[in-house]
Chains A and B, each alone.
Chain A
Amino acid sequence: MMDIRDQYLDTEGAPIRKYNLRPSRSRASFQIQQRAKPSISINLDNTVVQTIVPPVDNTFTDDQDRAESIQAFPRLKSMHSISSLASRRAARNMASLDQLSVNSTIDPIVEQSYLYNSAFNNDVAAEGSQENGLDENVRRDLIERLAQSIYSYPTSLAKPHAYGPKSVVSNEIPDVFTSVNTSGDASKDLKSHGKNFLILTSAGKPIFSMFGNDKDIIPYMGVINTVVSYFQVNQKAQIRSINLKKTKQAFVFLNKSPILLMAYSRRGESTNQLMAQLDLLYSYLISSINERQLQRLFHNRSNFDLHNYLEVTDFDNLRQICFILCNKLYPDFSINALQCFIMRKTIRSKIHDTIHTELLNESKYIPRGTLLYGLILSHKRDMFKLCSVIRPKGHTLHTVDLQLLFCLITHQFANRDGDQELWLPICFPKFNSNGFLYSYIKYLSRAAPGSPNEDTVLVLISAQKDAFFKLKLFGDKLWNKLQSEKLGDYLIQDRLKFRISDIPAPLVHHFVYKSKKYVQYVMPELEIRTEDEAQLQQYEQKLKTYYEHLHHSAIDDRGVPINKTMLNYIHWETGPGNAQSLNGDGNDGDDDDTSEEFRRERTSMMGLVWITPQFELYLVCNNGVDNKETVLRSAKQIIEWCRKYEARLFIQEGATF
């Protein structure tokens, strides 16, 4: 046991033995370049897996290949979060603690801010130990060692003392931002919310406010209305924004007469970002009552009360959109792109071919012109991914229109049975803000709670009011056909979803890659094992804030990148004085025994944004990474990877007709 342990510490023998555990370099499936690669790639929970087995999913080898590779190398299947191990360790007796600290050459680390103490899943552990050839004790110990101290530098294991004492990296990213109140408690004081959206009519009547009940809000609505109309009347100008530099507050106005919208934010967002968010809210309103209808309603009665005209679901949807805008990691809106369901290129083209032939075959049921657009979506945790697109040649739908559609679907089906079908009139504001299109929406499959499968949704859009049965027929036939071709499963199971550890990009915690050509983006699965919705949300919020800062550092106030090509790094760290105070701080909820031996991890976060005419890449590194070159190398690898698998990651053509 001790032997194995020593292999993974700073002993001189480590590198040789370690390489024995690694896959041979000749394997084509494992394409990490060997030059100065970290021997351990640390990424969220599955450090251990990454260390020992070749990454499996990302290589997209054939199944047969994969099976071989599994047999060829010892494999650890359990992927417990390190935090769970850390918490388990705390329960262990003191003797083993001493043992650990004696052996380590650096101070062990205790994470203070673990969000997720997920239960240690013994079943999985047992399963894992049966499957691999390693002794269970050895394996556990290995995990623990790694959990304690993981060296971040590429050559660290090979040359332990080359550059003096090493920084330590954990797989947890700290929060460096001022905390934001994310609770949806509307009864609280208006000032307690870091962000708010107000919608009112040009006559000053309230329509919607994200926070604050109508009674409190009405006076402000009056003032907002006055301010907007003052400039409109006196100076023939529109007020865009009010910025308060010191308190970082921003008020942004969007006048879509007869509707006025205002956003308030003290999260450092730019005018342009907030303007885009307001536009989305307005687009939502238009999607449920189109612009022409709106004008008609207000034409004769300028003091028309739209609040009463809208339905409860509309307000719920607006609230939902606001929530997504404020608190969720939902890059769709901020980088204006869609996420795509990853699929093997051949499968995707098979599906598209099937759809195409089905369209041709069934043309007697569904005459040309009936179907405008068709979408197959996969849906999980309020995130939609585009599986396939059926569209006329040369036409695409605007991302905002699709995003609105997604919001609608989420909400419409929230309390419905999966078997139901919907026939909804929707106005796609960017397509045609004056008319409705009709959407046939059906869940092709619904995953049972807890199952790893995805919900799959079929959306067929038509301009004809009475096309329901035609579309329903086509939808049913299409789904039957797909299933008979054994393609349905590919849509239900997200087989190729990947984690950051599946990509040869060391030290990266998470990234978002947007292909400008396809207006689609890809990001790894969030690796957080918690059932607690609040923790999950907190984590998402944190990542979102990182991404927002990265995004904001590269664009100007009009929302255009400052340069066509930009490479920006942002680095956050605690000051030296601060770290000292943490060292000496023993009463921070720690046991007195441990506080002497463990020191709190220093915050050192690095992010990168890379914008070129072809792509945008945003990435957040693990804590402790401050080497710019390493980050750049990882970024290049991500880009290389994304380009290589472009056909899988993005829908390139879709089924066109």
Chain B
Amino acid sequence: MLRDLVVIDPERCDSEETSYRALVLFHEFGAAEGGSSTNEKLNKMGIIQGIWSLTQSFGDSGGEDEKVIELDSEQILVIRVEGRYFVALTVSGDQEGSGAAIPSQFYMGYLWLCYRFFLLHYGPLAGFGDAARLTDALNEHMIPFWNDIYLKPETLVRQGIDTLWPLALKRSELVDCLDDSGSASSDDDMSWDAIINTKLLLQEESFIGLKDVLVYHIPSDSRQVDATDPVGFHQGFKNFGLVQNFCHSCDSLADVSNWIYHLFKQYNGLSSHILAGNAHFAELPSTEHRGNQTDPSRLHDDDTAAEVPTTFGTKLLHNITLPISFAYDAVHEVGVTTGVSSSMSYLKSYIPSWSMGVGPRNQPSPVSTADTRYGYLISPLSPESLPLQYKMLKLNMTYNNVTKPHNLIFWYYQDMLVVLVADESFDKIWDKEYLKDISFILSLSMSKLYKSLCAAQEQLSENFAYFTVNGSTTVPEIRSSIPPCVSLPGIPTCDNPLQIAIDGLDQLLSRATLNLNNNADNILGLDIMGSLFPSADGNPSVTKDTKALPSNHNFLDSMETGKLWELYKELLIFLDSLQKSEAEQDIIEERLLTLNNGVLCYLKRDGAKFIVVLKNWYDKRYNDYPTKETTLFNNLGIDVINWWAKNPMNPEAF
């Protein structure tokens, strides 16, 4: 449970009297009882700095930029950024001894992510000359960020242990199987990436201007919608993430990717509003939520609404009308000027809630059958009246060690998200015809990709799960097939009194617009990616659809959430212990742990590389060893050895 968030800039105060100036941001989450007095805030600020300097004096702390202060009932996580600013997050333990308490490592990971996302959107903290402007920016960015987590803490674990490496990038292994069978697709036509390269990036009109194309595979996860169907349409976490980018000198890749993953995990999907930063959770009084049939503010009074919440309770609800956004803006304005942004709660009285129409469930969903959905999420094609962030996202990205703002456009094709990164000075990106051309080329490429994937890939079920971090590349890379925990045991997700309040503009996303035959002509320019209606509750014919990518899961995917969470916690302890190991840097340390829940856990640290392999040791399918010399790794079985032999992190691969 989050308690408070403090940002301190010690350089701002020069004397005892002006010490309050050092306090850049102080926010208490939830319904604070009266809040802290100025004096208490200053005390807290002082103690954080005091502890920081105390810990400096006992050992060489070069480069140490994070500290965890543990009290009996709460933890204070402090990071120092830019060698100057302290960001401290106080987390109080949930109910004593409950299994749901989230280990501090996850909070720490998100603290770093939050800062990295801030850099993307606003640039370094030190770049703000004016203190008030910095406070405003932090208010706009950090408080909604953490408030959403406060309201939905399971977000923290939804990216799995990837979060412990906040500077690393999760790669999708979707196209790895294509490389093996590359000869198969070398017919007359080009491969999917060649299409993007030659027809888009290397074209005269977009060369240099269009810097990069980031292709993500972000499958909508049926697990979180219907827990009774454990595997369902699950594609495996292995294929989640960045499929490919086309520029090799991008240093911000991890940050952009993690930002997109975060949005996806936080809001269970990606839409124009989410990307534009206009979707946030607002807490509704639970009574109002439970009695949803009688809720007077409900716009849609659907007869079937009562039976919906079990599956749709957590679905996002795009529902707001224009006047409300203005009302919100006004409230927000007040919040910003008063320096405290707890104004979110004011909103609840303005926002009508509206659960997504349930009617379509009764008919075969037209979405996932013949048509493939694609189109822009954020692009200049969106209506003129919309704010800038719906047309173009400006993010500070680093290419070739130069950091400057870039324009980003988002496009999707079913479960693939394509991000176009354009130079700020590249004006052609505003040309609507050009955008339509891009959309066409991308759709060609993507359909090609889908086609070749379906041809190349087979249903795969692995008896092990792995997690690797390769820290020796410029951007550390994560490859993982350990499924993330979608929810926390003990915290009900289905009947959560949460709703997403879109504090932006009219959604106007109705069934009619979804069914537009020509996607590129989606005049609204607003959309939501992925299949809106999870196949789990669709009829069986939907899942047999040929458009579906082959599933790829392992034994952990069918594990219950509670058990998975237990496993996570054990894994954290092991990782922690491994990281604390005193072994010299050039020593490779391996551990093999046999747990009595039937999981064999192998950990390896080789310099900047981390490898985790989890194996179900009750399963005896692969228990013949390839060699007589049973090293710890060989002991994992032939399937793991084969996997490792092809792994890019293995120096002996290929």
Contacts and interface: CB of A to CB of B under 8 A. Distances in A.
Interface string A88-108: 000000000000000000000
A629 interface: yes
Interface stretch (B312-320, B376-384, B455-463, B578-586): B578-586
B202 interface: no
A239 B48 CA distance: 13
Interface string B615-638: 000000000000111111001000
A628 interface: yes
A365 interface: no
Contact of B589 (A237, A267, A565, A570): A570
B617 to A, nearest CB: 11
Which 6 pairs of residues, A with B, have the shortest CB-CB distance?
A268-B580, A571-B590, A237-B71, A567-B594, A569-B592, A177-B582
Contacts of B630: 627-629
Interface of B: 40, 43, 47, 50-51, 53-55, 57-74, 108, 570, 573-574, 577-584, 586-597, 606-607, 627-632, 635, 651
A223 interface: yes
Contacts of A565: 596
Contact of B586 (A224, A239, A264, A574): A574
B594 A566 contact: yes
A563 interface: yes
Given A226-B50, A240-B72, A629-B630, A552 B58 contact: no
B589 A264 contact: no
A247 B68 contact: no
Interface in A239-258: 239-249, 251
Interface in A282-301: none
A563 B569 CA distance: 12
Interface stretch (A63-71, A228-236, A316-324): A228-236
A251 B74 CA distance: 16
16 contacts: A176-B584, A177-B584, A223-B54, A227-B50, A230-B43, A231-B47, A235-B74, A241-B68, A241-B70, A242-B70, A249-B59, A267-B582, A549-B581, A568-B594, A569-B592, A570-B589
Interface in A552-566: 552-553, 556-557, 562-566
A271 interface: yes
Contacts of B581: 268, 549
Interface string A192-228: 0010100000000000000000000000100110110
A578 interface: yes
Interface in A536-593: 545, 549, 552-553, 556-557, 562-576, 578
A266 interface: yes
A632 to B, nearest CB: 9
Contacts of B592: 568-569, 571, 628
Contact of B591 (A246, A267, A553): A553
A573 B588 contact: yes
Contacts of A180: 582
B549 to A, nearest CB: 37
Contacts of B570: 562-563
Contacts of B47: 226-227, 230-231
Query: Max chain B CB contacts within 10 Å: which of A153, A176, A564?
Result: A176
A162 B627 CA distance: 12
Given A177-B583, A573-B588, A271 B70 contact: yes
A576 B587 CA distance: 10
Contacts of B584: 176-178
Given A191-B58, A626-B629, A571 B71 contact: no
B190 to A, nearest CB: 39
A515 interface: no
A284 B635 CA distance: 47
A244 B66 contact: yes
Contacts of A347: none
Given A244-B67, A553-B591, A575-B606, A251 B586 contact: no
Contacts of A626: 629, 631-632
Nearest to B58: A264
A575 B595 contact: no
A556 B573 contact: yes
A149 to B, nearest CB: 18
A163 B40 CA distance: 70
Contacts of A244: 55, 61, 64, 66-67
Contacts of B54: 220, 223-224, 227, 251
A176 B590 CA distance: 13
A223 B72 CA distance: 20
Nearest to A230: B47
Given A227-B54, A568-B592, A573-B587, A553 B70 contact: no
A227 B60 contact: no
A153 B607 CA distance: 29
Contacts of A234: 40, 43
Contact of B51 (A190, A227, A553, A569): A227
B69 A242 contact: yes
A238 interface: yes
Contact of B579 (A245, A563, A567, A573): A245
Contacts of A41: none
A239 B573 contact: no
Contact of A571 (B55, B63, B632): B632
A603 interface: yes
B598 to A, nearest CB: 11
B58 A562 contact: no
Nearest to B595: A563
A239 B59 contact: no
Contacts of A247: 59-64
Given A230-B43, A570-B591, A178 B580 contact: no
Contacts of B53: 223
A566 B59 CA distance: 35
A563 B570 CA distance: 9
A569 B60 contact: no
A270 B579 CA distance: 12
A549 B574 CA distance: 11
A557 B573 contact: yes
A246 B65 contact: yes
Contacts of B55: 242, 244, 249, 251
A624 B7 CA distance: 51
Contacts of A235: 71, 74
Nearest to A190: B58
B614 to A, nearest CB: 14
A224 B40 CA distance: 19
A552 B591 contact: no
Contact of B582 (A243, A271, A545): A545
A575 B64 contact: no
A328 to B, nearest CB: 17
A576 to B, nearest CB: 8
A399 to B, nearest CB: 24
Contact of B68 (A153, A243, A575): A243
A230 B58 CA distance: 21
Contacts of A570: 589-591
A559 B632 CA distance: 26
A569 B628 contact: no
Nearest to A238: B72
B577 A191 contact: no
B68 A245 contact: yes
Given A227-B47, A271-B70, 9 more contacts: A191-B58, A237-B73, A245-B579, A246-B64, A549-B583, A566-B593, A574-B586, A627-B630, A629-B630
B71 A178 contact: no
Contact of B635 (A240, A270, A628): A628
Given A177-B584, A569-B591, A249 B58 contact: yes
B63 A246 contact: yes
Nearest to A628: B630
B1 to A, nearest CB: 15
Contacts of A628: 592, 630-632, 635
B60 A578 contact: no
A570 B51 CA distance: 35
A191 B62 CA distance: 12
